[in-house]
Amino acid sequence: MLVSRPKTAGTEGTRYRSSRANSQSLADHLTEASAAPTTTDPKDPAARQGHLSTTHVLASVQRVTEPALVVRNATLRGRPGTWTIVLDQDAIRAVERQQATTPVPAHEGPTELDAEGNLVTIPFVDAHLHLCKVHTLDAAGDNPLAEYTSGTMGGALTAIEGAATVKRGQTADDVYARARQTLLASVANGVRVVQAFADVDPVAGLTGVEGLLRAREEFRGRVDVQVVAFPQDGLLKAPGTEELLTEAIRRGADVVGGIPWIEHTDADAKAHVDAMVSLAQRTNRRVAMLVDDAGDPSLRTTEMLAAALLERGMVGRGSAQHARAMATYPEPTVRRLAGLAKAAGLGFVTDPHTGPLHLRVTDLLAAGVPVALGQDDIEDAYYPFGRHNLLEVAFVAAHVLGYLADPQLETLLDMVTMQGYRVVGMPPRAIEPGAPADLLVLDGRTAREVLTRHSAPLTVVTGGRVVASTRTVTELF
Ligand SMILES: [Zn+2]
Protein backbone atom coordinates (compact mmCIF):
# COMPACT_ATOMS: atom_id res chain seq x y z
CA MET A 1 0.00 0.00 0.00
CA LEU A 2 1.28 3.41 -0.93
CA VAL A 3 0.14 6.26 1.24
CA SER A 4 0.66 9.79 0.00
CA ARG A 5 -0.47 13.27 0.80
CA PRO A 6 -1.31 15.80 -1.91
CA LYS A 7 1.49 18.09 -0.85
CA THR A 8 5.14 18.42 -1.70
CA ALA A 9 7.90 17.29 0.58
CA GLY A 10 8.22 19.49 3.60
CA THR A 11 4.61 20.61 3.57
CA GLU A 12 3.01 17.55 5.04
CA GLY A 13 1.32 19.80 7.53
CA THR A 14 2.07 22.32 10.19
CA ARG A 15 2.72 20.92 13.62
CA TYR A 16 0.89 22.43 16.50
CA ARG A 17 1.46 21.76 20.13
CA SER A 18 0.54 23.51 23.29
CA SER A 19 1.38 23.05 26.92
CA ARG A 20 -0.73 23.40 30.00
CA ALA A 21 1.21 26.55 30.93
CA ASN A 22 -0.48 28.45 28.15
CA SER A 23 -3.91 27.78 29.51
CA GLN A 24 -2.96 29.48 32.75
CA SER A 25 -4.89 32.70 32.87
CA LEU A 26 -3.62 36.18 33.56
CA ALA A 27 -5.59 36.04 36.82
CA ASP A 28 -3.64 32.92 37.86
CA HIS A 29 -0.34 34.70 37.25
CA LEU A 30 -1.46 37.72 39.23
CA THR A 31 -2.57 35.50 42.12
CA GLU A 32 0.91 33.97 42.21
CA ALA A 33 2.46 37.41 42.17
CA SER A 34 0.38 38.59 45.11
CA ALA A 35 1.51 35.56 47.14
CA ALA A 36 5.18 36.41 46.53
CA PRO A 37 6.03 38.33 49.78
CA THR A 38 6.00 35.15 51.84
CA THR A 39 9.05 33.89 49.96
CA THR A 40 11.01 37.14 49.54
CA ASP A 41 14.32 37.97 51.13
CA PRO A 42 13.58 39.33 54.63
CA LYS A 43 16.46 41.79 54.16
CA ASP A 44 14.55 43.38 51.30
CA PRO A 45 12.96 46.53 52.82
CA ALA A 46 10.08 46.37 50.40
CA ALA A 47 9.36 42.81 51.44
CA ARG A 48 9.55 43.70 55.12
CA GLN A 49 6.90 46.36 54.48
CA GLY A 50 4.69 43.75 52.85
CA HIS A 51 5.45 44.80 49.24
CA LEU A 52 6.53 42.52 46.42
CA SER A 53 10.24 42.23 45.82
CA THR A 54 11.52 43.50 42.50
CA THR A 55 12.76 40.03 41.65
CA HIS A 56 9.38 38.45 42.07
CA VAL A 57 7.52 41.20 40.27
CA LEU A 58 9.85 40.87 37.31
CA ALA A 59 9.56 37.09 37.34
CA SER A 60 5.79 37.34 37.43
CA VAL A 61 5.65 39.95 34.69
CA GLN A 62 7.90 37.81 32.56
CA ARG A 63 5.56 34.85 32.93
CA VAL A 64 2.46 36.96 32.36
CA THR A 65 3.91 38.29 29.13
CA GLU A 66 4.76 34.94 27.61
CA PRO A 67 3.63 35.08 24.01
CA ALA A 68 0.38 33.43 23.07
CA LEU A 69 1.91 31.72 20.07
CA VAL A 70 5.25 31.47 18.24
CA VAL A 71 5.20 30.60 14.55
CA ARG A 72 8.53 29.35 13.22
CA ASN A 73 9.82 28.63 9.71
CA ALA A 74 7.43 31.01 7.94
CA THR A 75 7.88 32.34 4.43
CA LEU A 76 6.62 35.92 4.10
CA ARG A 77 5.52 37.66 0.92
CA GLY A 78 8.14 39.94 -0.57
CA ARG A 79 10.72 39.15 2.13
CA PRO A 80 13.56 36.68 1.53
CA GLY A 81 14.52 34.12 4.14
CA THR A 82 12.65 32.24 6.82
CA TRP A 83 10.91 34.01 9.68
CA THR A 84 9.73 33.58 13.23
CA ILE A 85 6.57 35.43 14.25
CA VAL A 86 5.82 35.99 17.93
CA LEU A 87 2.19 36.72 18.74
CA ASP A 88 0.38 38.02 21.78
CA GLN A 89 -3.38 37.76 21.90
CA ASP A 90 -4.00 41.30 20.78
CA ALA A 91 -1.07 41.95 18.44
CA ILE A 92 2.00 40.58 16.73
CA ARG A 93 4.91 41.18 19.10
CA ALA A 94 7.88 40.48 16.84
CA VAL A 95 8.81 39.31 13.36
CA GLU A 96 12.38 38.04 13.24
CA ARG A 97 14.42 36.64 10.41
CA GLN A 98 15.85 33.22 11.19
CA GLN A 99 19.57 32.80 10.52
CA ALA A 100 20.67 29.65 8.73
CA THR A 101 23.86 29.44 10.78
CA THR A 102 22.39 30.05 14.20
CA PRO A 103 19.69 28.24 16.12
CA VAL A 104 16.11 29.42 15.87
CA PRO A 105 15.55 32.35 18.30
CA ALA A 106 14.79 30.91 21.69
CA HIS A 107 11.34 32.17 22.56
CA GLU A 108 10.29 29.70 25.18
CA GLY A 109 6.71 30.21 24.20
CA PRO A 110 4.35 27.59 25.52
CA THR A 111 2.58 27.26 22.20
CA GLU A 112 4.44 26.79 18.96
CA LEU A 113 3.55 26.28 15.35
CA ASP A 114 5.94 25.05 12.68
CA ALA A 115 4.95 26.59 9.34
CA GLU A 116 7.47 24.32 7.60
CA GLY A 117 8.43 26.95 5.07
CA ASN A 118 4.90 27.67 3.90
CA LEU A 119 3.64 31.13 3.06
CA VAL A 120 2.25 33.04 6.03
CA THR A 121 -0.10 35.92 5.22
CA ILE A 122 -2.67 38.21 6.75
CA PRO A 123 -6.21 36.74 6.67
CA PHE A 124 -8.52 37.05 3.68
CA VAL A 125 -11.26 39.60 3.09
CA ASP A 126 -14.41 38.81 1.15
CA ALA A 127 -15.48 42.27 0.08
CA HIS A 128 -18.77 41.21 -1.51
CA LEU A 129 -21.04 38.36 -0.48
CA HIS A 130 -24.84 38.04 -0.67
CA LEU A 131 -24.84 36.26 2.67
CA CYS A 132 -28.63 36.40 3.09
CA LYS A 133 -29.06 34.28 -0.06
CA VAL A 134 -26.51 31.49 0.43
CA HIS A 135 -27.75 27.95 -0.26
CA THR A 136 -31.05 29.02 -1.81
CA LEU A 137 -30.53 27.72 -5.35
CA ASP A 138 -32.84 24.73 -4.98
CA ALA A 139 -35.61 26.99 -3.75
CA ALA A 140 -35.08 29.52 -6.57
CA GLY A 141 -34.85 27.02 -9.43
CA ASP A 142 -32.52 27.27 -12.44
CA ASN A 143 -34.27 29.97 -14.49
CA PRO A 144 -32.85 33.07 -12.74
CA LEU A 145 -29.34 31.65 -13.07
CA ALA A 146 -29.73 31.13 -16.80
CA GLU A 147 -31.02 34.70 -17.17
CA TYR A 148 -28.26 36.30 -15.09
CA THR A 149 -25.48 34.63 -17.03
CA SER A 150 -26.99 35.60 -20.40
CA GLY A 151 -25.02 38.86 -20.26
CA THR A 152 -27.88 41.13 -21.22
CA MET A 153 -29.44 43.85 -19.12
CA GLY A 154 -32.88 42.31 -19.57
CA GLY A 155 -31.55 38.95 -18.43
CA ALA A 156 -30.01 40.40 -15.26
CA LEU A 157 -33.25 42.19 -14.38
CA THR A 158 -35.32 39.04 -14.98
CA ALA A 159 -32.90 37.09 -12.77
CA ILE A 160 -33.36 39.53 -9.89
CA GLU A 161 -37.16 39.19 -10.18
CA GLY A 162 -36.96 35.37 -10.34
CA ALA A 163 -34.58 35.14 -7.40
CA ALA A 164 -36.96 37.22 -5.29
CA THR A 165 -39.39 34.31 -5.04
CA VAL A 166 -37.09 32.76 -2.41
CA LYS A 167 -37.76 35.64 -0.04
CA ARG A 168 -41.51 35.00 0.23
CA GLY A 169 -42.13 33.49 3.63
CA GLN A 170 -38.46 33.76 4.62
CA THR A 171 -37.76 34.24 8.32
CA ALA A 172 -34.77 35.75 10.11
CA ASP A 173 -34.09 32.28 11.53
CA ASP A 174 -33.84 30.84 8.00
CA VAL A 175 -31.32 33.50 7.00
CA TYR A 176 -29.32 33.07 10.20
CA ALA A 177 -29.12 29.27 9.83
CA ARG A 178 -27.86 29.48 6.23
CA ALA A 179 -25.43 32.32 6.97
CA ARG A 180 -24.01 30.38 9.89
CA GLN A 181 -23.05 27.49 7.58
CA THR A 182 -21.09 29.90 5.42
CA LEU A 183 -19.42 31.68 8.33
CA LEU A 184 -18.16 28.37 9.70
CA ALA A 185 -16.56 27.87 6.29
CA SER A 186 -15.15 31.42 6.60
CA VAL A 187 -13.31 30.46 9.79
CA ALA A 188 -11.88 27.31 8.19
CA ASN A 189 -10.84 29.23 5.08
CA GLY A 190 -9.24 32.14 6.92
CA VAL A 191 -11.78 34.72 5.77
CA ARG A 192 -11.53 37.27 8.58
CA VAL A 193 -13.77 40.02 7.13
CA VAL A 194 -16.95 39.73 5.09
CA GLN A 195 -18.90 42.60 3.59
CA ALA A 196 -22.26 40.86 3.70
CA PHE A 197 -25.29 42.08 1.75
CA ALA A 198 -28.74 41.61 3.24
CA ASP A 199 -31.73 42.24 0.99
CA VAL A 200 -34.08 44.90 2.32
CA ASP A 201 -37.30 45.23 0.33
CA PRO A 202 -41.08 44.98 0.82
CA VAL A 203 -40.96 41.17 0.38
CA ALA A 204 -37.94 40.32 2.58
CA GLY A 205 -38.68 43.15 5.01
CA LEU A 206 -35.93 43.11 7.63
CA THR A 207 -35.59 39.31 7.83
CA GLY A 208 -32.26 39.38 5.93
CA VAL A 209 -30.79 42.09 8.13
CA GLU A 210 -32.05 40.49 11.36
CA GLY A 211 -30.64 37.09 10.39
CA LEU A 212 -27.23 38.52 9.50
CA LEU A 213 -27.04 40.76 12.58
CA ARG A 214 -27.54 37.66 14.72
CA ALA A 215 -24.81 35.80 12.81
CA ARG A 216 -22.53 38.85 13.11
CA GLU A 217 -22.78 38.77 16.90
CA GLU A 218 -22.19 35.03 17.11
CA PHE A 219 -19.01 35.20 15.03
CA ARG A 220 -17.63 38.44 16.48
CA GLY A 221 -13.90 38.06 17.10
CA ARG A 222 -13.59 35.26 14.53
CA VAL A 223 -15.18 36.81 11.45
CA ASP A 224 -15.94 40.53 11.19
CA VAL A 225 -19.27 40.65 9.36
CA GLN A 226 -20.16 44.06 7.97
CA VAL A 227 -23.89 43.92 7.33
CA VAL A 228 -24.96 45.96 4.31
CA ALA A 229 -28.63 47.01 4.22
CA PHE A 230 -29.20 46.42 0.52
CA PRO A 231 -32.31 47.49 -1.47
CA GLN A 232 -32.08 44.58 -3.95
CA ASP A 233 -35.34 45.50 -5.72
CA GLY A 234 -34.59 49.21 -6.04
CA LEU A 235 -35.65 52.26 -4.11
CA LEU A 236 -38.00 54.25 -6.34
CA LYS A 237 -39.18 51.00 -7.98
CA ALA A 238 -40.11 49.53 -4.60
CA PRO A 239 -41.97 52.09 -2.48
CA GLY A 240 -41.49 51.62 1.25
CA THR A 241 -37.91 50.41 0.89
CA GLU A 242 -36.27 53.64 2.03
CA GLU A 243 -38.14 53.51 5.34
CA LEU A 244 -37.11 49.88 5.81
CA LEU A 245 -33.46 50.80 5.12
CA THR A 246 -33.55 53.57 7.68
CA GLU A 247 -34.92 51.09 10.22
CA ALA A 248 -32.24 48.53 9.26
CA ILE A 249 -29.52 51.08 10.00
CA ARG A 250 -31.23 51.98 13.29
CA ARG A 251 -31.17 48.31 14.28
CA GLY A 252 -27.43 48.11 13.68
CA ALA A 253 -26.66 47.44 10.01
CA ASP A 254 -23.11 48.64 9.36
CA VAL A 255 -23.21 49.84 5.75
CA VAL A 256 -25.78 51.52 3.46
CA GLY A 257 -26.29 49.62 0.20
CA GLY A 258 -27.74 50.56 -3.17
CA ILE A 259 -28.48 49.26 -6.65
CA PRO A 260 -29.23 52.37 -8.70
CA TRP A 261 -28.79 50.83 -12.16
CA ILE A 262 -32.07 48.88 -11.94
CA GLU A 263 -34.26 52.00 -11.55
CA HIS A 264 -36.48 52.93 -14.53
CA THR A 265 -34.66 56.11 -15.60
CA ASP A 266 -31.27 57.77 -15.20
CA ALA A 267 -32.98 60.48 -13.14
CA ASP A 268 -34.35 57.83 -10.78
CA ALA A 269 -30.93 56.18 -10.61
CA LYS A 270 -29.39 59.49 -9.57
CA ALA A 271 -32.12 60.03 -6.97
CA HIS A 272 -31.39 56.52 -5.64
CA VAL A 273 -27.66 57.29 -5.33
CA ASP A 274 -28.32 60.64 -3.66
CA ALA A 275 -30.80 59.18 -1.17
CA MET A 276 -28.45 56.37 -0.12
CA VAL A 277 -25.32 58.53 0.16
CA SER A 278 -27.36 61.03 2.14
CA LEU A 279 -28.60 58.27 4.51
CA ALA A 280 -25.01 57.11 4.98
CA GLN A 281 -23.86 60.65 5.70
CA ARG A 282 -26.62 61.23 8.26
CA THR A 283 -25.98 57.95 10.05
CA ASN A 284 -22.16 57.99 9.78
CA ARG A 285 -22.04 54.84 7.68
CA ARG A 286 -20.09 53.73 4.64
CA VAL A 287 -21.78 53.04 1.31
CA ALA A 288 -21.50 49.86 -0.80
CA MET A 289 -23.50 49.89 -4.03
CA LEU A 290 -24.05 47.42 -6.83
CA VAL A 291 -23.53 49.54 -9.91
CA ASP A 292 -23.90 49.01 -13.66
CA ASP A 293 -24.22 45.24 -13.34
CA ALA A 294 -25.13 44.51 -16.97
CA GLY A 295 -23.64 44.69 -20.46
CA ASP A 296 -25.11 48.08 -21.29
CA PRO A 297 -22.56 50.78 -22.22
CA SER A 298 -25.05 53.55 -21.42
CA LEU A 299 -25.13 52.69 -17.70
CA ARG A 300 -23.36 55.39 -15.65
CA THR A 301 -24.25 54.80 -11.99
CA THR A 302 -20.60 54.20 -10.97
CA GLU A 303 -19.90 57.75 -12.05
CA MET A 304 -23.00 58.96 -10.16
CA LEU A 305 -21.79 57.24 -6.97
CA ALA A 306 -18.28 58.73 -7.18
CA ALA A 307 -19.70 62.19 -7.87
CA ALA A 308 -22.12 61.93 -4.93
CA LEU A 309 -19.31 60.94 -2.53
CA LEU A 310 -17.33 63.98 -3.64
CA GLU A 311 -20.30 66.34 -3.42
CA ARG A 312 -21.26 65.23 0.10
CA GLY A 313 -17.78 65.20 1.59
CA MET A 314 -17.80 61.39 1.78
CA VAL A 315 -14.42 60.84 0.12
CA GLY A 316 -13.06 57.37 0.93
CA ARG A 317 -16.35 56.18 2.42
CA GLY A 318 -17.73 54.07 -0.42
CA SER A 319 -17.24 51.05 -2.63
CA ALA A 320 -18.62 50.09 -6.04
CA GLN A 321 -19.55 46.45 -6.58
CA HIS A 322 -19.59 44.69 -9.97
CA ALA A 323 -19.61 47.67 -12.41
CA ARG A 324 -19.57 45.15 -15.25
CA ALA A 325 -20.72 47.73 -17.83
CA MET A 326 -17.23 49.21 -17.57
CA ALA A 327 -16.09 46.34 -19.82
CA THR A 328 -18.13 47.92 -22.62
CA TYR A 329 -16.98 51.52 -22.16
CA PRO A 330 -14.73 53.26 -24.70
CA GLU A 331 -11.19 53.92 -23.51
CA PRO A 332 -11.61 57.65 -22.76
CA THR A 333 -14.64 56.91 -20.57
CA VAL A 334 -12.70 54.29 -18.60
CA ARG A 335 -9.87 56.74 -17.97
CA ARG A 336 -12.20 59.52 -16.94
CA LEU A 337 -14.06 57.21 -14.56
CA ALA A 338 -10.82 55.88 -13.03
CA GLY A 339 -9.71 59.45 -12.32
CA LEU A 340 -13.05 60.34 -10.76
CA ALA A 341 -13.04 57.17 -8.63
CA LYS A 342 -9.55 57.97 -7.34
CA ALA A 343 -10.60 61.50 -6.40
CA ALA A 344 -13.65 60.12 -4.56
CA GLY A 345 -11.61 57.46 -2.75
CA LEU A 346 -13.97 54.89 -4.27
CA GLY A 347 -12.89 51.25 -4.00
CA PHE A 348 -14.12 48.47 -6.29
CA VAL A 349 -15.05 44.84 -5.87
CA THR A 350 -15.07 42.47 -8.81
CA ASP A 351 -16.46 38.96 -8.97
CA PRO A 352 -15.35 37.74 -12.40
CA HIS A 353 -16.67 34.20 -11.89
CA THR A 354 -20.33 35.19 -11.53
CA GLY A 355 -20.89 36.95 -14.84
CA PRO A 356 -19.71 37.15 -18.43
CA LEU A 357 -18.38 40.72 -18.17
CA HIS A 358 -16.03 42.15 -15.63
CA LEU A 359 -14.47 45.27 -14.29
CA ARG A 360 -11.41 46.89 -15.91
CA VAL A 361 -9.21 45.63 -13.07
CA THR A 362 -5.82 46.40 -14.64
CA ASP A 363 -6.80 49.97 -15.56
CA LEU A 364 -8.19 50.73 -12.11
CA LEU A 365 -5.20 49.29 -10.25
CA ALA A 366 -2.85 51.22 -12.55
CA ALA A 367 -4.74 54.41 -11.65
CA GLY A 368 -4.18 53.70 -7.92
CA VAL A 369 -7.79 52.70 -7.26
CA PRO A 370 -8.16 49.74 -4.84
CA VAL A 371 -9.81 46.64 -6.28
CA ALA A 372 -10.78 43.58 -4.24
CA LEU A 373 -12.25 40.22 -5.13
CA GLY A 374 -15.50 38.91 -3.73
CA GLN A 375 -17.20 35.53 -3.53
CA ASP A 376 -20.47 37.27 -4.52
CA ASP A 377 -22.72 34.22 -4.30
CA ILE A 378 -22.77 30.74 -2.80
CA GLU A 379 -25.20 28.24 -4.29
CA ASP A 380 -27.94 30.74 -5.04
CA ALA A 381 -29.91 31.95 -8.03
CA TYR A 382 -26.83 33.74 -9.42
CA TYR A 383 -24.05 31.14 -8.97
CA PRO A 384 -24.27 27.39 -8.33
CA PHE A 385 -20.91 26.86 -6.58
CA GLY A 386 -18.90 28.63 -3.88
CA ARG A 387 -17.16 27.35 -0.75
CA HIS A 388 -16.16 30.72 0.66
CA ASN A 389 -12.59 29.92 -0.23
CA LEU A 390 -11.00 33.17 -1.43
CA LEU A 391 -8.06 31.31 -2.99
CA GLU A 392 -10.57 29.47 -5.15
CA VAL A 393 -12.13 32.82 -6.11
CA ALA A 394 -8.65 34.15 -6.98
CA PHE A 395 -7.84 30.97 -8.92
CA VAL A 396 -10.92 31.38 -11.12
CA ALA A 397 -10.22 35.11 -11.49
CA ALA A 398 -6.73 34.26 -12.75
CA HIS A 399 -8.31 32.55 -15.74
CA VAL A 400 -11.08 35.05 -16.42
CA LEU A 401 -8.79 38.06 -16.11
CA GLY A 402 -5.85 36.36 -17.85
CA TYR A 403 -3.69 36.94 -14.77
CA LEU A 404 -1.24 34.05 -15.14
CA ALA A 405 2.30 35.48 -14.77
CA ASP A 406 3.87 35.47 -11.31
CA PRO A 407 3.49 39.24 -10.69
CA GLN A 408 -0.20 38.94 -11.59
CA LEU A 409 -0.60 36.04 -9.18
CA GLU A 410 0.82 38.31 -6.49
CA THR A 411 -1.77 40.91 -7.51
CA LEU A 412 -4.53 38.33 -7.05
CA LEU A 413 -3.27 37.56 -3.54
CA ASP A 414 -3.28 41.31 -2.85
CA MET A 415 -6.89 41.50 -4.04
CA VAL A 416 -8.06 38.96 -1.44
CA THR A 417 -5.95 40.44 1.36
CA MET A 418 -4.62 44.02 1.58
CA GLN A 419 -6.79 45.45 -1.20
CA GLY A 420 -9.82 43.94 0.51
CA TYR A 421 -9.11 45.75 3.79
CA ARG A 422 -8.79 49.04 1.85
CA VAL A 423 -12.02 48.53 -0.06
CA VAL A 424 -14.12 47.77 3.04
CA GLY A 425 -12.61 50.73 4.92
CA MET A 426 -10.50 48.85 7.48
CA PRO A 427 -6.98 49.81 8.55
CA PRO A 428 -4.17 48.27 6.51
CA ARG A 429 -2.66 45.04 7.86
CA ALA A 430 0.67 43.31 7.50
CA ILE A 431 2.74 40.67 9.23
CA GLU A 432 4.60 43.15 11.38
CA PRO A 433 4.89 44.11 15.06
CA GLY A 434 1.80 45.88 16.36
CA ALA A 435 -0.54 44.40 13.74
CA PRO A 436 -3.51 42.27 14.86
CA ALA A 437 -2.45 38.76 15.94
CA ASP A 438 -4.21 37.10 13.01
CA LEU A 439 -2.44 35.10 10.32
CA LEU A 440 -2.80 32.19 7.93
CA VAL A 441 -0.34 29.41 7.17
CA LEU A 442 -1.19 28.68 3.54
CA ASP A 443 -0.67 25.41 1.69
CA GLY A 444 2.35 26.35 -0.43
CA ARG A 445 5.51 28.42 -0.37
CA THR A 446 4.73 30.83 -3.23
CA ALA A 447 1.71 32.60 -4.70
CA ARG A 448 1.80 30.12 -7.57
CA GLU A 449 1.79 27.09 -5.28
CA VAL A 450 -1.00 28.34 -3.04
CA LEU A 451 -3.16 29.31 -6.02
CA THR A 452 -2.50 26.00 -7.78
CA ARG A 453 -3.69 24.12 -4.72
CA HIS A 454 -6.28 26.72 -3.65
CA SER A 455 -6.92 24.61 -0.61
CA ALA A 456 -8.00 25.82 2.81
CA PRO A 457 -5.17 27.27 4.92
CA LEU A 458 -3.23 24.66 6.86
CA THR A 459 -3.70 26.77 9.95
CA VAL A 460 -5.80 29.82 10.79
CA VAL A 461 -4.68 31.96 13.73
CA THR A 462 -7.02 34.57 15.19
CA GLY A 463 -6.22 36.61 18.28
CA GLY A 464 -2.97 34.70 18.76
CA ARG A 465 -4.85 31.40 18.88
CA VAL A 466 -5.25 28.56 16.40
CA VAL A 467 -8.94 28.52 15.39
CA ALA A 468 -8.84 26.14 12.42
CA SER A 469 -6.59 23.55 10.88
CA THR A 470 -7.16 21.63 7.65
CA ARG A 471 -5.36 18.57 6.28
CA THR A 472 -6.15 16.61 3.15
CA VAL A 473 -4.99 13.03 2.95
CA THR A 474 -5.03 10.87 -0.18
CA GLU A 475 -4.42 7.17 0.02
CA LEU A 476 -3.37 5.28 -3.12
CA PHE A 477 -3.81 1.52 -3.18
ZN1 LIG B 1 -23.36 40.72 -6.15
**What is the Å distance from ligand 1's center to 469 Cα?**
29
**What is the Å distance from ligand 1's center to 52 Cα?**
60
**What is the Å distance from ligand 1's center to 289 Cα?**
9
Q: Which residues surround ligand 1, an ion (CB under 5 A)?
A: 376
Contact yes or no for 72/114 (Cβ under 8 A): yes
At a CB cut-off of 8 Å and minimum separation 6, what does 268 contact?
236, 237
H or E element that contains 458: none
Q: Could you give the CA distance from residue 406 to residue 384 in angstroms, rounded to a whole number?
A: 29
**What is the Å distance from ligand 1's center to 148 Cα?**
11
**What is the Å distance from ligand 1's center to 133 Cα?**
11
Contact yes or no for 240/278 (Cβ under 8 A): no
**What is the Å distance from ligand 1's center to 376 Cα?**
5
| pLDDT one-digit tens code per residue, 261-309 | 999 999 999 999 999 999 999 999 999 999 999 999 999 999 999 999 9
442-466: burial string, b at 16+ Cβ within 10 Å, e else: bbbbbbebbbebbbbbbbbbbbbbb
Give domain 1-122+430-477's CATH superfamily: Urease, subunit C, domain 1 (2.30.40.10)
**What is the Å distance from ligand 1's center to 121 Cα?**
26
**What is the Å distance from ligand 1's center to 131 Cα?**
10
| pLDDT one-digit tens code per residue, 134-191 | 999 988 877 777 777 766 666 777 777 777 788 888 999 999 999 999 999 999 999 9
pTM for the structure as a whole: 0.85
| pLDDT one-digit tens code per residue, 227-274 | 999 999 999 999 999 999 999 999 999 999 999 999 999 999 999 999
pLDDT of residue 107: 52
Contact yes or no for 311/346 (Cβ under 8 A): no
Position with higher pLDDT, 168 vs 402: 402
**What is the Å distance from ligand 1's center to 368 Cα?**
23
On average, the pLDDT of the chain sits at 87
Does domain 124-423 sit in CATH 3.20.20.140? yes
**What is the Å distance from ligand 1's center to 130 Cα?**
6
Q: Tell me how many degrees the CA angle 76-80-86 measures, rounded to the nearest 5.
A: 45
**What is the Å distance from ligand 1's center to 355 Cα?**
10
| pLDDT one-digit tens code per residue, 78-111 | 999 999 999 999 999 999 999 875 555 555 545 8
The domain segmentation of the chain, as residue ranges, is 1-122+430-477, 124-423
